[in-house]
Structure 1
Amino acid sequence: MTLILAVFGMVIVALGTASVYVTWATDSVVLQEGEIADRSYRAPRTETFISELRTEERREEAYNDSRNIVLRDDPSVAPDQISDLNSALEGIDEIRAGEIDDDEIEQIHSLAEGLSDSQADSLLELNEVAWERVRTEAVRLLDEVFEEEISAEDVAGVRDAMPQRSDPQMSASERNLAVALARPYVRANVEVDEEATIEAREEAAADVEPVMMTVQAGQIIVREGDPVTRYHIEQLEYFGLLSPEQTWDQFAGVVGLLSLVTLAMVLYLGKFAPDVCRSRQLLLVALVVAVPLVAGRFVLVNEDLLYMFPAAAAIMLLAILIDFHFAVVVGGFVGLYLGIVSGSMFEIAFVTILAAVAGAAVIWRAERTVTFLFAGLSVGATTFVAASLFHLMEGNLDMPNAGSLLVSSAVNGALSASLTFLFFSLLGTMFGITTHLQLLELAHPNQPLLYRLTREAPGTYHHSIVVSNLAESAAERVGGDPLFARVAVMYHDIGKLMRPTFFIENQANRSNIHDSLDPRSSAQIILDHVADGVRMARKARVPKPIVDVIEQHHGTTLVKYFYNQAVKSGEDVEEADFRYEGPKPQTKEAGIILLADSVEAAVRSMSQSGSLYEETVDEAAGETVKRSQLDRIVDGIIRDRIDDGQLDECDLTIKQIEDIKGIFISILEGVYHPRIEYPESTRTARGQTASDVATAESN
């Protein structure tokens, strides 16, 4: 168990540490650009500071200013382009002279790309004087254009502006021809000097003065509901209004506190809840502790969600599935965990513990679904009252705050109740725990096995009802689960359905079948009803805790009557052959049921045989009175079970057993009280044989 608890503790600390580290490493960013501000942020003081963002923007603008681009001339461009134009014009001269026989239009297009078909036709139709004017104008235009610096970005604009440069004395058609001939030869005649440009840009950026910002105390930096810009974030970071800077010392302190709380919880579990540690329930505890611990670290950093976090659901689940008192203690540890990881240690721990206890107190023995609603209301109301008192202490409880607290508390209660309702059945099935709502469903008389008992074994059913009353009252008296005890009793003898008439309570007025059987066969039939009941319960998917009670309700007791009969017959008898296989009762409820079953069977048998009350003469009164043998019978049965070691493995104390005995006697006196005998009444039960009584006591 020590190893299991050590692993449990290490897992909890590891999960807590991981969640703290993840949020600790990212806590410096609360608001991001583009988000909507969840509240208004005001400057706590007046400050003048350098705005790095605005300064950098100014420097980028200066750096990228086109005036900082340094160009250098390429002197070869103009002569080359003019030479190419002259060559093209000479080619056109040859075409016009008719010295080339190929298609003239095609030839002109190959020499002058800018000409359309109609312009090519016009060019061929020009007389020599007009052609000379066009030719001269084309060269002049290109030469004039190259007198200016033309960058690559300027080429298109220069070409488009060439018609405005043409000679207005010429006809429009001639000017268009000149422009069309010259335009394709316009090229950039300068290029960027990269080194000089970079130097000029860097110098311009360096000359920019830092941008100073002045923010007055109380000035709103970003207003609630406005989109957050990077300028807002810069100012919030400068004033320290985002999450405070975390340090490794703080991280180590948080982890240390988590470890101390976990150590305390492990010590509690090992000392006061060993049964939980030895079962799958420890996994359930780990789950309901780890989930709020991890989720709380991410949720509780947001003040608006502080009182909405449904931590009470975890404790309410433990109260339903395990035990109220256990859940309250674990709830204290969960509250401490949340206080540590949220940074609001006392307040959140206090509110969480109070709300969890309030919810668990209402829901721990939920027998109706409406109980979940009441538990949610209890959680919400407790959260609101406790949180309001804290705000009142801090002097900031006003109507808006109270309204916000009311909404948050209501959400908390609703979520806690909803999560508990959604998961209690699932977790109960996963961890082998039977809830009260399941027990109530199992107790319905229309359940197949119980219905069969009423039809096929009515005596056993009646016996189970009486025993269930005994067990329920006793369990309530000694702090057990009375509902579980009552329902488990209703199923404890279902194995008798395999051979109902072999059990005395179902024989009515018929003769006892065991009178015709040998002791070993009779004993085996009696013993088999336990194993038969276990098989039937498992087949019907009865919850394991009830199956365990069926298996344990006789422990390893001896079927004394048939054992003694076998000994008297001279057989070679092994006592173990006449004992139930067990195991002995492992829980308080199973131990109570073992005692209640044995006591009720014995008292019923004695009542039917007429020997439950002894007639004695009261000399003082001069009359015959009946004195009950209940005390002696109940005490004898219980003492026999104790001496036989049947209660050694359950956690019933001597004091509790005495209380149980008192409860049994009180109830049985009401059930088997003496009745008035009328002369005409017949007492068929007087005809019971010794084997009838013994058979009843054995089953």
Structure 2
Amino acid sequence: MSKKQPAPRRSSGFTQGVARVLILIITCILIYLCLVLPDVINQANMPVAVGEVANQDILAPYSITYESKVYTERARMEAAAAVPPVFLPPDPSIARRQLETLNSILYYISTVRNDPYATREQKLEDLEALDEIKLNPSIAAQILALNDQDWQNIDKEARRVLELVMRDTIRNENVAQIRSNLPAIIDFAFPTEQAQVVIALVSPLIVPTSLYSEEQTNLAREQARATIEPISRQIIAGEVIVRRGQIIREEDLEALNIFGLAKPSNQTDQYVTNAILVGVLATLSVLYFNRRQDQDFYDPKHLSLIAIVFVIFLGLGRFLVIDRTIVPYLYPVAAFGLTIAIIYNFEFGTLLSLFLSILLTFGKNREAELTIFYLLPTMVGMLTIGRARNIGSFIGSGFVTGLLGMAVVTAFRLGDVYTDMVGLSTLVIASLVNGLLSGSFALLLQFVFAQVLDIPTTLQLIDISRPDHPLLQYILQNAPGTYQHSLLVANLCEQAAGAIGADRLLIRVGALFHDCGKANNPQFFVENQVKDKIDAHD
């Protein structure tokens, strides 16, 4: 028989070992999903390019002021566009060249008019063959019909008008206007037909004297761009960056990229870094649990409940809380650490609180601030609550947790250019509420752990040790001697437990009820049996 007994123990130990490994693997998978899935879900609904339509409202998670390249470039483009084209000073050589051209044309026309051998038809063809100007047949006929005196007058007037016009600054945009004003410049003594001849001769020769300079224009525009200082854009926490149904503009996408809310082109790095973090924390957990195998939390049942509550806190935080503005400062993360410290010990509570704080804030905005905000108040709360012997302990611990949270927020946000006094006041109040909520939820979670794990809590032990507890009253009424004896034994045991570092309250309560059966069946106890009577157990 003795050789067969160790087998079940080895089998039981192996089964528990497998259970612990499965708990570790499943917990790591769930933690990894809590880290990755919220970003995947959010980014699947986020715009990735200008011109796309947003299918949800996107709010700023925190206040920020940044240099907007889009606004700055737009202002510089507007400043450059406002610069008028730059023209060179009027070039006198252009006017001289056009006057020389007119002289050549007039000389050619005079030669054609005075040609004694050409017929009228040939003269018309010669006039219409001019390269510098194009004379229509009616103007050519009028020129040939003029007498010498009229032609000389037209010759002089054409020279005068062209010289007068070309003395002004002429640009491309006002050439047509100057040509249309020629009738007002020609001497009114000329008949209409002769004035038309002057216009036909002069109008084609009117060209710009002030030419457009692309180089000077570009230089002026660059100077205008240089005068525009970088433009800053301020976005307040909670402000709507993009509304649902809105077409994404350049400035919207820029703001989303600043906040890290736009979908990245490659998410592989994010997946890898999350996996590395989970692996590191899993390794630390294995090393810690191997050194604490004698503790209650090493039992698979305890590990399962701890893992479930841990994942619930992490999942709620990553999916619903951490990407918001005020809610992260209201989320009672400390409740988890307080519960673990009450049920087990401060060391274990601190370790899990550290893991939870890191995982909640990893890869998020204000990562360092929130990590410290979640961890330090939790540690102080665990030190304050002790063994949680009454409701006041939870309230006091929650209040202290809230006060330290307020201090952490003030340390990080006071003087922050992105946080005004209204925002700071809101976060400070939220921190205090966080602490009170943490104490309240810790009280609730303590009873959940106690019921599931079938372990007594401090409050339960205190409750059943009250003198007016029904069972103690029953013992007092039915076995007063036993009651007094139990009180003395309880006092002695409590002192002994304190001397050796054991749980004084648990020992005292156990001693109070160690003889409770005598109140109902005293004869079942050997010291209460009458001599020479049959043993009640027989």
Would you say same fold, with TM above 0.5? Answer: yes
Distance 1:26 1:225, change over 3 A: closer
- How far did 1:33 drift? 5.6
* Aligned position for 2:252: 236
- How far did 1:373 drift? 1.5
- How far did 1:420 drift? 1.9
User: For 1:145-197, what per-residue CA distance to the aligned partner results, in whole angstroms no more than 9, with x for missing partners?
Assistant: xxxxxxxxxxxxxxxxxxxxxxxxxxxxxxxxxxxxxxxxxxxxxxxxxxxxx
Distance in 2 (CA, whole Å) between partners of 1:338 and 1:225 is 24
User: For 1:214-254, what per-residue CA distance to the aligned partner results, in whole angstroms no more than 9, with x for missing partners?
Assistant: 99722468993698362466532145234252621122111
Distance 1:380 1:30, change over 3 A: farther
Alignment partner for residue 508 of structure 2, among 475, 486, 491? 486
* Aligned position for 1:293: 314
- How far did 1:442 drift? 1.1
1:515 and 2:531 aligned: yes
Distance 1:226 1:235, change over 3 A: closer
* Partner secondary structure for residue 241 of structure 1: helix
* Aligned position for 1:475: 497
Paired amino acid for 1:248 = T
Distance 1:463 1:326, change over 3 A: farther
Distance in 2 (CA, whole Å) between partners of 1:340 and 1:37 is 20
RMSD across aligned C-alpha pairs, in angstroms?
3.6
User: Does structure 1 conserve the Cα–Cα contact (< 8 Å) formed by 2:31 and 2:314?
Assistant: yes
* Partner secondary structure for residue 336 of structure 2: helix
In structure 2, stretches of 5+ residues that fail to align are: 1-15, 48-53, 75-227
Equivalence map 1:123-162=2 (5 Å): none
Distance 1:324 1:476, change over 3 A: farther
User: Does structure 2 conserve the Cα–Cα contact (< 8 Å) formed by 1:355 and 1:380?
Assistant: yes
User: Does structure 2 conserve the Cα–Cα contact (< 8 Å) formed by 1:293 and 1:337?
Assistant: yes
User: For 1:297-331, what per-residue CA distance to the aligned partner results, in whole angstroms no more than 9, with x for missing partners?
Assistant: 22212243332221101111112223333322322
Distance 1:414 1:248, change over 3 A: same
* Aligned position for 2:231: 217
- How far did 1:412 drift? 1.1
Distance 1:220 1:409, change over 3 A: closer
Distance in 1 (CA, whole Å) between partners of 2:414 and 2:71 is 37
Distance 1:464 1:307, change over 3 A: same
Paired amino acid for 1:389 = A
* Aligned position for 2:51: none
1:45 and 2:68 aligned: yes
- How far did 1:273 drift? 4.5
* Aligned position for 1:263: 283
1:252 and 2:272 aligned: yes
- How far did 1:495 drift? 2.5
User: Does structure 1 conserve the Cα–Cα contact (< 8 Å) formed by 2:342 and 2:387?
Assistant: yes
Distance in 1 (CA, whole Å) between partners of 2:521 and 2:384 is 44
Distance 1:323 1:284, change over 3 A: farther
- How far did 1:409 drift? 0.4
Distance 1:262 1:233, change over 3 A: farther
User: Does structure 1 conserve the Cα–Cα contact (< 8 Å) formed by 2:71 and 2:251?
Assistant: no
Distance in 1 (CA, whole Å) between partners of 2:249 and 2:439 is 39
* Aligned position for 2:301: 280
Alignment partner for residue 32 of structure 2, among 17, 29, 41? 17
Distance in 2 (CA, whole Å) between partners of 1:227 and 1:453 is 71
Distance in 2 (CA, whole Å) between partners of 1:19 and 1:34 is 22
* Partner secondary structure for residue 295 of structure 1: helix
Distance 1:23 1:227, change over 3 A: closer
Distance in 2 (CA, whole Å) between partners of 1:237 and 1:350 is 31
Deviating more after overlay: 262-271 vs 308-317: 262-271
Paired amino acid for 2:354 = G
Alignment partner for residue 397 of structure 2, among 363, 372, 375? 375
* Aligned position for 1:64: none
Distance 1:46 1:264, change over 3 A: closer
Distance 1:364 1:34, change over 3 A: same
Distance 1:405 1:50, change over 3 A: closer
Alignment partner for residue 372 of structure 2, among 331, 350, 353? 350
Equivalence map 1:72-471=2 (5 Å): 217-219=231-233, 224=239, 228=243, 230-231=246-247, 235-239=251-255, 240-242=257-259, 243=261, 245=264, 247-274=267-294, 275-278=296-299, 280-298=301-319, 299-340=321-362, 342=364, 344-391=366-413, 399-471=421-493
- How far did 1:400 drift? 3.6
* Partner secondary structure for residue 259 of structure 1: helix
User: What is the aligned residue count?
Assistant: 354
* Partner secondary structure for residue 286 of structure 2: helix
* Aligned position for 1:8: 23
Distance 1:476 1:388, change over 3 A: farther
Distance in 1 (CA, whole Å) between partners of 2:63 and 2:371 is 28
Paired amino acid for 2:469 = Q
Distance in 1 (CA, whole Å) between partners of 2:446 and 2:328 is 24
Distance 1:321 1:340, change over 3 A: same
User: Does structure 2 conserve the Cα–Cα contact (< 8 Å) formed by 1:261 and 1:336?
Assistant: no
Equivalence map 1:645-656=2 (5 Å): none
* Aligned position for 1:596: none
* Aligned position for 1:542: none
Paired amino acid for 2:307 = A
User: Does structure 2 conserve the Cα–Cα contact (< 8 Å) formed by 1:4 and 1:277?
Assistant: no
* Partner secondary structure for residue 516 of structure 1: coil
Paired amino acid for 1:19 = C
Distance 1:396 1:46, change over 3 A: closer
* Aligned position for 1:132: none
* Partner secondary structure for residue 232 of structure 2: coil
Paired amino acid for 2:472 = L
User: Does structure 2 conserve the Cα–Cα contact (< 8 Å) formed by 1:288 and 1:315?
Assistant: no
Distance in 1 (CA, whole Å) between partners of 2:438 and 2:498 is 28
User: Does structure 2 conserve the Cα–Cα contact (< 8 Å) formed by 1:46 and 1:215?
Assistant: no
- How far did 1:14 drift? 0.9
In structure 1, stretches of 5+ residues that fail to align are: 52-213, 508-512, 526-699
Distance in 2 (CA, whole Å) between partners of 1:392 and 1:265 is 36
